[in-house]
Chain A
């Protein structure tokens, strides 16, 4: 798994490539925590090159989402989600919880 974070004026874009599973999800949690610790709570996660995400990764997303939305200070929105991953999100009931955009541009524009 590779993580690349780009800081924009209104939000941070976190692009994750490869697999998010029990081995790699702690690193993703650390990356989100680092952004939140810097006082930034508006995040876009770019899924376009994500191959796989397990429930360990989904747990990281949920806890980050809760932290970002606290006090109405921000959000974690998702962009460019491949169809097979979208199906797993749907099954887990996550499509009604997260805002999911077709691409990063629309997601960044939502802030």
Chain B
């Protein structure tokens, strides 16, 4: 298990990606699986900065990676506002270009690319657990 703490700024995204990529490779994920995990984690961290903290430089993001038998668990924790995924509209990916609304796309991608996505909210503490299985 490895834990790193990152400042809640968009500049942290590249460092978070580097950390997650390294841990995912160590856990035996394929190149494609590592890329999918990197995409999901990027969307999750961006959402924390934008929605939980409401902007950059407000709080930090704790990232913990745990290799498991069939894949890897990534836990992202923050102390911002609870982010309720049921409030996120599902984007219609088949709609015509002019009607296309892309809010909610990040959350949609995160759910599509991961094998499990779980949110937990307690007092001033949000915990998001992502699971990616290796094939």
Q: A residues touching B (Cβ–Cβ < 8 Å)?
A: 19, 21-23, 52, 54-56, 58-59, 62, 65-66, 69, 84, 87-88, 91-93, 96-97
Contacts and interface: CB of A to CB of B under 8 A. Distances in A.
Given A19-B14, A22-B10, A22-B49, A93 B106 contact: no
A69 B71 CA distance: 43
A91 B97 contact: no
B39 interface: yes
B97 A55 contact: no
B109 interface: yes
Contact of B102 (A59, A88, A91): A59
A23 B94 contact: no
B46 interface: yes
Q: Contact size class for B?
A: 20 to 34
Given A22-B13, A23-B14, A91-B109, A52 B38 contact: yes
Nearest to A91: B112
Contact of A56 (B17, B46, B93, B108): B46
A52 B102 contact: no
